[in-house]
Chains A and B, each alone.
Chain A
Amino acid sequence: MARRAEAGNKKRISAEEWQRKLREVRVAKEDMNRVVMNFLVTEGYVDAARVFERESRTAPGVDLEQITDRMEIRKAVQSGDVEQAIERVNDLDPEILEQGHELFFHLQQQRLIELIRQGQLAEALEYAQEYLAPRGEDHPELLQDLERTAALLVFEDVGSSPLADLMDVAQRQKTASELNAAILASQSQEAEPKLPNLLKLLMWAQKQLDEKAVYPRVDNLVTAELHVDGGN
């Protein structure tokens, strides 16, 4: 391997030395716990967050009830029940859809898609006229998307039309994620947990270090085992 071949020019750090250096870095346990809690809360693992709160005495920083709501709203979109999702978001915080024009449009678009998927074409047509069409007048920036969505009503077999992507499950996921991020933002929370980013930073830092030194690496993030390269 290339790394091994170049090893001669690089600084070599033994396992013992590495361990000693690691021990010198002090990371407060509370900080670690907060990172974990942040992950549980953001990803919506309410039960785990509750247990973790009890065991580690780390404050979740948000109302855990709201997480349940958020998860159920996401689930509703993922399972195609957009109407229920809209109602629950409005119960949670009416401002989210009052102010988020684009998000609301995407939800309405999804609603239309679901009606078409269920073959309720008359309802779909009425919904498009009553709710979607006026949005184009108020928000011209949505017009193009709006026309594309309305075209769904034209094709007999949407699945084989150029608009097939809209009917895909991935579209549901996209809408669900957008809504989830908006709810998190309304609660002043990041849309992404901090942990994945920290791990990305770890990988990046190791890559930088690989250029200069041979040291015990973390190759497997799941086990976080230190792997000493270069035949030590």
Chain B
Amino acid sequence: MAEVARQQLVDRLQSDDSASRLQALRCIKNCVIGNRRQKQHYIHLDAVKLLVAVLASPTADAAQLVQAAAAVGSFAASKEGLLSVIHHRGLLHLLKVLQSSEDVKVVEAAVRAVKSVCRTADEPILDVLSPPSLGVLPRLVSLLASPTSNVAESSAAVLACCCDRGREQQNAVAVAGAVQPLVALLASQQHSKQEAALAALAALSSGNAATSEDILEHASVLSSLLGAIKRGRSPHTRFVAAVCLVNLSQHIPALGQEELSTPQGLQQAVLPVLVQLLDADMAENVPGALCQLVEHSAELQLAAADADAVAKLCAILRQQWRAPPVVEGALRCLAALCSKREEQRRQVVDARVLPVVVAALSHQSLPMRAAACMCMRSLSRSTKLLRGHLGDVQLAAPLLALVDEGDTEVAAQAMGTLTNLAVDFSAVKEQLLAHDGVARFAALADSMQPVLRLHGVWGLSSVAYMAAPEVKQSIAHHLPWSSVVALLEDSEPEVREKVMLLLRNMLHSERNIEAVLTWSCNALLEAARDVLQRSEGQAAAELKHHALYVVVNMASSTAAHKEAVMQSGWPPLLVQQLRDENEQVREAAVWAIINLTWSRDGDAEETAVRVQQLRLLGVEEELRRLEQDECIAVKERASTALDQLRALEGGGDDDVAMEAVV
């Protein structure tokens, strides 16, 4: 029976009699408001299409438009209703009515309905601010001053929804003149108006310097916001005000007249509020906002840690009911707080949330996996954790899975973590090797993406560090020398540096040298030399440092290997590096000289020849100059080298013994 009645009502929406039509509109509206089931019934009868037709009809009078708009707004309050409204272009027609109607009641009904659409939609709705709809902005701005209940709030909510769509929309909202009336609403006696204005200002200022500066031109804004973070009626109000301040503080001139109008002053004022709100059981993404605040400031990270933010964030991770974006925010925030500080890393482990972080590495949503990966990367910088706790959890497999994802950013984070895990003392190293880590890293080193190449090579260099000969063999097997040559010529300076580090680590310890020379078809020393010469003095100190240690390691070996260095064209280059501006480079070059002039296994004769060759290159003068070096280590090494030269001169070769292998 009810079904029949509904069909009759829907039919009457197309009636010629306008009174009958109006009555049907009212009935349907009253049926569906607050009734999900009734909405479904009417959706199946195609009522939404007919309601939209009323909105679109040029003959519909004000009373009909009010009822139709309210009904469409009610449908939009449910997910399936919203789909139907969008499908029948209901939003577009609501916006048209909103923009062009001269009737106050119609405009009010339309703005409430559009707000309902914005509230239900998970993602920003495309129609709202496609260019043809921008004309609605002046109307929305004018409604901000409406005294009718909820109309100003609805308008502010729609404007906020517009701003969520991006920079262009934010700018358009500001240009339409929204800033001034929104700022005025902050001072409203009615808290719902204040809250709506705060939300709109937060959306308007998010990541946008131009609109933030527009807002900051209003002198009262900062004091209103500072008042709201302290005395805001609800945690929600305080939170949204804090978000506004975080946004604005990034665009305020550094030299304010008072402390609270400088970026630092504002940020220090907001920080305790956000940290405190971490305790409130609220749905809003407080950790995300805190992360945005502290991300780029070591000082604020320290302040947050002092306020016990780590414990609070860990508590959030332990609460399983938290919405994914909040968990993601907490992971990112912990990543920032633990990025440089051992104490905080320890705190995270002690709070027993490591399993949560590890589980999040395999979460279904990519942003969550990325956040967990960032957090794990920060934790993996702790040598203590690498020796202990991190070895107890299965990390290698989920991280390697992340490397294989399409997302370069996430893959790079995962590789960064794996690289940290790959160092010798790490308990995870075994896991990594068991999961074919070497082959996976080597494959990445061939990637077209510079950042992945970098991390691939970096990972291999970590694996090679102090590794057993079998591991090094595996590296040589998976990364052919031709790839090494290509990587030494890579367009990215960082890649060149890390591949040099790989060679240095591969050579470490005498027993590996022959294997490495075989791998490189005896071209190792020349290849390293060429990289240094090609870069014509522009090579980064790190790269030079690693290249010199390739030589240092070679020169620490047998007479034959020392001779190979002498024949490789390195000696003049070594003497030249003694004048390098970087003290570590100078020190490494002195070590190479020391090793080359060191005699062992009864090779006194060969040593004398090498010394003679080096003398001819002017090495003694350079070393004497270095005895006055500003760096103590360089000074001492230079003295050692000179002593060794003098000892050889005197014919004796057994009183000074120094050899460097690093």
Among the listed A63, A98, A100, A101, which residue makes an inter-chain contact with B149, where contact means beta carbons less than 8 Å apart?
A: A63
Residues 638-661 (chain B) with a chain A CB within 8 angstroms: none
The CA of A101 and the CA of B37, in the complex, are separated in Å by 13
For A95, the chain B residues whose CB sits under 8 A away are: 112, 116, 150
The listed residue with most B CB atoms (<10 A of its CB), out of A66, A93, A95, A99, is: A95
With both chains docked as a complex, state the minimum distance between the C-beta of A42 and any C-beta of chain B, in angstroms. 14
Decide if the interface of chain A is mainly helix, strand, loop or mixed: helix
A94 touches B29 (CB 8 A): yes
Residue of B nearest to A137 (CB): B37
Among the listed B1, B70, B150, which residue makes an inter-chain contact with A90, where contact means beta carbons less than 8 Å apart?
A: B70
* CB contact under 8 A between A98 and B116, given known A63-B147, A93-B150: yes
B2 touches A94 (CB 8 A): no
- By size class, the interface of chain B is 20 to 34
Residue of B nearest to A92 (CB): B149
The CA of A189 and the CA of B30, in the complex, are separated in Å by 25
With both chains docked as a complex, state the minimum distance between the C-beta of B44 and any C-beta of chain A, in angstroms. 15
Among the 9-residue stretches B187-195, B391-399, B410-418, B550-558, the one with 4 or more Cβ atoms under 8 Å from chain A is B187-195
- Residue B34 lies at the interface, judged by CB distance under 8 Å to chain A: yes
A93 touches B191 (CB 8 A): no
Residues 138-156 (chain B) with a chain A CB within 8 angstroms: 147-150
* CB contact under 8 A between A186 and B149, given known A90-B29, A90-B33, A101-B34: yes
The listed residue with most A CB atoms (<10 A of its CB), out of B26, B73, B150, is: B150
Interface size of A in residues (CB-CB distance below 8 Å): 27
Decide if the interface of chain B is mainly helix, strand, loop or mixed: helix
- Residue B36 lies at the interface, judged by CB distance under 8 Å to chain A: yes
The listed residue with most A CB atoms (<10 A of its CB), out of B26, B35, B73, B192, is: B35
Question: 1/0 per residue A185-197: CB within 8 Å of B?
Answer: 0111100000000
- Residue B289 lies at the interface, judged by CB distance under 8 Å to chain A: no
* CB contact under 8 A between A130 and B2, given known A187-B149, A188-B191: yes
The CA of A86 and the CA of B1, in the complex, are separated in Å by 22
With both chains docked as a complex, state the minimum distance between the C-beta of B217 and any C-beta of chain A, in angstroms. 28
A93 touches B149 (CB 8 A): yes
B147 touches A93 (CB 8 A): no
Residue of B nearest to A139 (CB): B36
A98 touches B37 (CB 8 A): no
The CA of A137 and the CA of B35, in the complex, are separated in Å by 12
With both chains docked as a complex, state the minimum distance between the C-beta of B473 and any C-beta of chain A, in angstroms. 64
- Residue A225 lies at the interface, judged by CB distance under 8 Å to chain B: no
* CB contact under 8 A between A63 and B74, given known A94-B112, A104-B34, A138-B36: no
- Residue B77 lies at the interface, judged by CB distance under 8 Å to chain A: yes
Residues 1-53 (chain B) with a chain A CB within 8 angstroms: 1-2, 26, 29-30, 33-38
Residue of A nearest to B77 (CB): A98
Question: 1/0 per residue A80-94: CB within 8 Å of B?
Answer: 000000110010111
* CB contact under 8 A between A94 and B73, given known A63-B148, A87-B26, A130-B2: yes
Residues 94-111 (chain A) with a chain B CB within 8 angstroms: 94-95, 97-101, 104
Q: List 24 A-B contacts (CB under 8 A).
A: A62-B147, A62-B149, A63-B147, A86-B30, A87-B26, A90-B29, A90-B33, A94-B29, A94-B33, A94-B112, A95-B112, A97-B33, A98-B116, A99-B77, A100-B34, A104-B34, A131-B38, A134-B35, A134-B36, A137-B37, A138-B36, A186-B149, A188-B149, A188-B192
Closest CB pairs A-B (n = 5): A188-B190, A134-B37, A187-B149, A97-B34, A104-B34
Given contacts A101-B34, A131-B35, 11 further A-B contacts (CB under 8 A): A61-B189, A63-B149, A87-B26, A93-B112, A93-B150, A94-B33, A95-B150, A126-B1, A134-B37, A186-B150, A188-B191
